[in-house]
Amino acid sequence: MWNLALTVPVGLFALMAARRPLPVLVGVVVLPLGIEFTQATVDGLGRVCDSSDAEMNIIGGLVGLAVAATVLTVRRSLDWRAGLKGALIASVAFLLLGSGVARPMLEFTNVDGTGLSASGPDQKRAVENAVKEAFGDRYAIGQLYEQPCVDLPCRNIIFNLYSREKGHSEALGNGSLSWPDGKHLNVLLEGSDRPTVMGYPVTGAKAPSTDQEANQVARSYAQQHYPWAKDANVQQTFPVGEKAQLGWMTNWRWTHSGVLMPRMLDVQVDRAGNVSQIDVTLGPTHVKLPKAKLDAKQAENAVIKAVTERLRANETTDATLEVKAFTVKAVEQDGTWAPHWLVNLTQNTDKQGNATQLPDPGETYRVNAINGQVYDSGGTSMKVP
């Protein structure tokens, strides 16, 4: 609603000044789209792109335009035909730029906003406890919502975090907590390559310039907030971006008999030495598993068959698929633990093909090593011919 109200004056005063509705109509549609496109493509803004923001901005502009048009029509001071040629030329130009230049630069992610519902007091307490464990009292928690998982019998509590620093109340991050188990917490404090006030400072940390220095910052944070991470038998730190533009990510993992266990901790440190993102999974460090029946090659073949079947159903057959099974992970389903192969899939598409229907490069699929069932990167089961 605030996004709608924000642009009502834009449409209103633009038409009152110009007295030509067609050029103003083009403006109130293009301006919000341009703002969201800029937020999606320009590094360092610390903003995210949301199509619903653009929709509400456009509606607000149209409301203001309609009010002004009504007033000017009564006064007989509105020229409906003025600027027609320019408005048509501008519309065609923006349409061509949007479809030919802007659209290929964007990657769309569908979020089911219709599934959102207000959270309850138990969910609020769970989020407050998880956030306090991760960051103390540094951030204020905004509105919380419950959102069902896509095609899966699970739910997440999504929320925003706001800076408590004076003069920076508009700065925000976002997070999610799995419900009702509360075992998976993901928080993104910074979404650009420039450190912001939302970055969580680590006591005694300095701005890192190497993997080792970033590892020391991440370890200090883990010791203060998740001391159980010291028991991990696998730890690695690597740059995020070709030149560590987004900082460094440190992973803590637990393995048993060569199988990756469910407990995990990921901490991303930005160029200023602040924590910019965390991902915490409070699974067990050891579970009893049945012996795998599928080897790596069989898992790779299962993924190829399942993905090929999905592409064929979408009438896309010109993709070259490359798969690599890289580890086995313990996965719980319906209260039972089973070994699952993790298979990385990349694809190359003929230029004449329809790439919009293909999997994104670098997706990770799962294959149940007992029965061969394949799951896509979103956890949805796939048909295996």
Q: Which residue has the higher pLDDT, 19 or 349?
A: 19
- 352 pLDDT more than 70: no
Per-residue pLDDT, averaged over 19-35, amounts to 89
| 52-66, 96-110, 142-156, 349-363 — most confident range | 52-66
- Orientation of helix 51-74 relative to helix 21-41, angle to 10°: 160
Contacts of 353 (CB under 8 A, 6+ apart): 316, 318, 319
Q: Which helix (H) or strand (E) holds 323?
A: strand 319-333
List pLDDT tens digits, range 78-121. Answer: 888 888 888 889 888 888 888 888 877 776 666 555 566 778 89
Residues in the chain: 385
What pLDDT was estimated at residue 113? 55
The pair phi, psi for residue 333, each rounded to 5°, is -140, 125
What pLDDT was estimated at residue 105? 77
List pLDDT tens digits, range 215-251. Answer: 999 999 999 999 999 999 999 999 998 899 999 999 9
The DSSP 8-state label assigned to residue 292 in this structure reads P
Where residue 206 falls among pLDDT bands split at 50, 70, 90? very high
Residue with tokens 């993104």: 188
Closest by CA to 217, choosing from 247, 256, 180, is 247
Where residue 171 falls among pLDDT bands split at 50, 70, 90? confident
What pLDDT was estimated at residue 177? 95
The DSSP 8-state label assigned to residue 98 in this structure reads I
Per-residue pLDDT, averaged over 259-279, amounts to 96
Where residue 18 falls among pLDDT bands split at 50, 70, 90? confident
The pair phi, psi for residue 149, each rounded to 5°, is -70, 155
- How far apart, in whole angstroms, are the C-alpha atoms of residue 344 and residue 249? 19
Q: State the Rg of the chain over Cα.
A: 25
- How far apart, in whole angstroms, are the C-alpha atoms of residue 158 and residue 140? 14
Full-model pTM: 0.68
What pLDDT was estimated at residue 115? 63
Closest by CA to 292, choosing from 366, 368, 364, 343, is 368
Portion of the chain with pLDDT greater than 90, in percent: 52
The pair phi, psi for residue 55, each rounded to 5°, is -60, -45
List pLDDT tens digits, range 133-168. Answer: 999 999 999 989 988 876 566 789 999 999 988 877
What pLDDT was estimated at residue 37? 84
Q: Are strands 172-179 and 184-188 parallel, antiparallel or unpaired?
A: antiparallel
What pLDDT was estimated at residue 356? 41
Contact between residue 60 and residue 8 where contact means Cβ atoms under 8 Å apart: yes
